[in-house]
């Protein structure tokens, strides 16, 4: 088996091959046994102490006790006594086309002169290449891109074939009745496709299906108000055509009216929890009964305020990056923050009073978001980890730890957080028979930890190794 060290030098993740490890006297073996570790299942069943994980190439051949999984003769044996091995994490809500800084969202932050979007767009796919390593370094072995450019689809396809990148599925451009024109680049590429009528909605679904998208993403950012009937007609058109095309559709609908309509229309996933108001018991039960998956995305909105605070003060925000995984492009953006020149004559982005108001509001919003998560959990909703990475200060890969800790603060037991972050994420990606658990036949996508994540999810702050498709990356030098 090949083993590699994952060095993180000044944010630049470098995969250094150590060559093929093999038992003395044996050829490099396709069979490897990781022995002695606590094996943590993705399906919530009890952990196995002093377990054995037998790997055949990129597949788990056996996961269990020493009696259940005898080490095959000639296998390469790696001793992980005292360590904790869990399935690789799945982030079921990311955007590879967003930079995790304010230049990636020109529709919201008025800094066009500093960050002409056509220039930002030029570098996006190159930046995204760096994010792949950040995900893997953070233990994320699969990621679902729910809104990007047309290139996001090919980008995801290429990542899937690699061992040094997570497994990625992508929706391509998202569909919405409220597409702001600012995203459209000079070459006419767009991150959003505007929907003016049900016929346009069906055509848009056929367009992205034809481009090879793995799912359809639909967004309703605000309460529908007087457009409710129009939006529900668009929703049904997208639902119908997605069904015809054989694609699941997922919906951004953080307010209850469109969230409920989306669940009733057969949405595979709500990519945010209900925000701004308490979720009703009736809606929570409805979501559970329909089997709709929800990614709570607790930190995405508060991170916007932090980004605006940084932009106003021109000081770098705090970065919580315990495993040293932040990508180089993001580091460069943050280091360059003091050089931002505000446009001549432009109004301030936001004054002190406004930002203070936003920050106070965020504290309430986080509490409400956590209460809504707890309500969905108690109602039996299938919840998956989703960060909304790529939004300002919601870091690619690195952001999963803060998100899981916020979910833990909501009162979700760490044992269940692991299911949300692994097998439920695989369900969100339609791959629960291929990854998200430690079981025979599953792909060998793993995280190796020094501490027990079933008692405290913060154990993910000290990742020792990540395995993707049977290839092991050790952290540090």
Q: What are the residues binding Zn ion (CB under 5 A)?
A: 388
For 58, counting Cβ atoms within 10 Å of its Cβ (0-12 exposed, 13-18 middle, 19+ buried), the class is: middle
Between vectors from CA 331 to CA 328 and to CA 334, what angle results, nearest 5°?
Answer: 155
For the chain, the maximum distance between any two Cα atoms, rounded to a whole number of angstroms, is: 75
* Least Å from the CB of residue 399 to Zn ion: 12
* Least Å from the CB of residue 146 to Zn ion: 6
Residue nearest to Zn ion (CB): 388
* Least Å from the CB of residue 182 to Zn ion: 17
* Least Å from the CB of residue 95 to Zn ion: 6
DSSP 271: S
SS3 251: strand
* Least Å from the CB of residue 463 to Zn ion: 25
Residue 80 or 304: which CB sits closer to Zn ion?
Answer: 304
The Cα 72–Cα 26 span in angstroms is 13
Of 174, 176, 190, nearest to 117 (Cα)?
A: 190
Residue 305 or 323: which CB sits closer to Zn ion?
Answer: 305
* Least Å from the CB of residue 147 to Zn ion: 6
Residue 388 or 471: which CB sits closer to Zn ion?
Answer: 388
Question: What residue ranges in 265-391 does DSSP mark as E strands?
Answer: 269-270, 293-294
Residue 327 or 388: which CB sits closer to Zn ion?
Answer: 388
The Cα 428–Cα 91 span in angstroms is 9
The Cα 120–Cα 339 span in angstroms is 16
Residue 144 or 195: which CB sits closer to Zn ion?
Answer: 144
Residue 388 or 403: which CB sits closer to Zn ion?
Answer: 388
Q: What one-character-per-residue DSSP string does 410-468 give?
A: TT--HHHHHHHHTHHHHHHTT-TTTSSS-STTSB--EEEESS-TTT-GGGGGSEEEEEE
Residue 259 or 448: which CB sits closer to Zn ion?
Answer: 259
* Least Å from the CB of residue 295 to Zn ion: 9
């Amino acid at each position: 088996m090949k083993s590699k060290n994952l060095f993180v030098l000044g944010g630049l993740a470098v995969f250094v091959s150590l060559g093929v490890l093999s038992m003395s006297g044996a050829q490099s073996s396709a069979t490897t046994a990781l022995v002695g570790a606590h094996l943590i299942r993705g399906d919530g069943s009890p952990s196995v102490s002093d377990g054995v994980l037998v790997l055949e190439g990129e597949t788990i051949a056996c996961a269990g006790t020493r009696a259940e999984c005898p080490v095959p003769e000639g296998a390469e044996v790696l001793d992980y006594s005292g360590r904790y091995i869990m399935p690789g994490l799945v982030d079921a809500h990311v955007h590879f086309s967003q930079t995790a800084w304010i230049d990636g969202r020109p529709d919201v932050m008025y800094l066009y002169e500093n960050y002409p979007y056509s220039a930002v767009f030029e570098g996006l796919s190159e930046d995204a290449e760096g994010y792949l390593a950040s995900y893997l370094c953070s233990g994320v072995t699969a990621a679902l891109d729910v809104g990007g450019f047309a290139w996001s689809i090919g980008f995801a396809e290429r990542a899937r074939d690699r061992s040094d990148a997570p497994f990625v599925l992508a929706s391509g451009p998202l569909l919405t009745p409220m597409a702001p024109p600012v995203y459209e680049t000079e070459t006419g590429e767009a991150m959003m496709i505007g929907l003016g009528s049900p016929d346009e909605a069906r055509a848009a679904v056929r367009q992205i299906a034809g481009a090879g998208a793995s799912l359809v993403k639909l967004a309703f950012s605000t309460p529908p108000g007087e457009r409710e009937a129009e939006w529900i007609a668009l929703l049904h058109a997208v639902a119908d055509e997605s069904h015809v095309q054989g694609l699941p559709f997922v919906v951004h609908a953080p307010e209850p009216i469109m969230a409920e309509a989306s669940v009733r229309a057969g949405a595979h996933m709500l990519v945010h929890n209900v925000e701004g108001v308490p979720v009703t018991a009736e809606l929570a039960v409805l979501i559970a009964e329909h089997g709709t998956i929800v990614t709570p995305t607790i930190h995405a909105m508060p991170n916007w305020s932090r980004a605006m605070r940084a932009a106003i003060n021109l000081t770098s925000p705090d970065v919580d990056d315990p495993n040293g995984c932040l990508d180089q492009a993001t580091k460069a953006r943050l280091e360059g923050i003091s050089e931002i020149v505000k446009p001549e004559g432009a109004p301030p982005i936001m004054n002190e009073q406004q930002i203070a108001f936003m920050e106070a509001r965020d504290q309430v919003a986080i509490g409400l978001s956590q209460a809504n998560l707890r309500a969905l959990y108690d109602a039996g909703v299938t919840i998956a980890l989703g960060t909304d990475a790529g939004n300002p200060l919601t870091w690619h890969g690195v952001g999963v730890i803060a998100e899981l800790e916020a979910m833990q603060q909501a009162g979700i037991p760490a044992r269940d957080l692991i299911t949300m972050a692994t097998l439920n994420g695989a369900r969100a990606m339609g791959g629960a028979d291929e990854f998200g658990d430690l079981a025979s036949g599953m792909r060998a996508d793993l995280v190796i930890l020094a501490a027990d994540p079933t008692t405290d999810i913060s154990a993910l702050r000290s990742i020792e190794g990540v395995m993707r498709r049977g290839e092991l990356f050790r952290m540090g030098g």
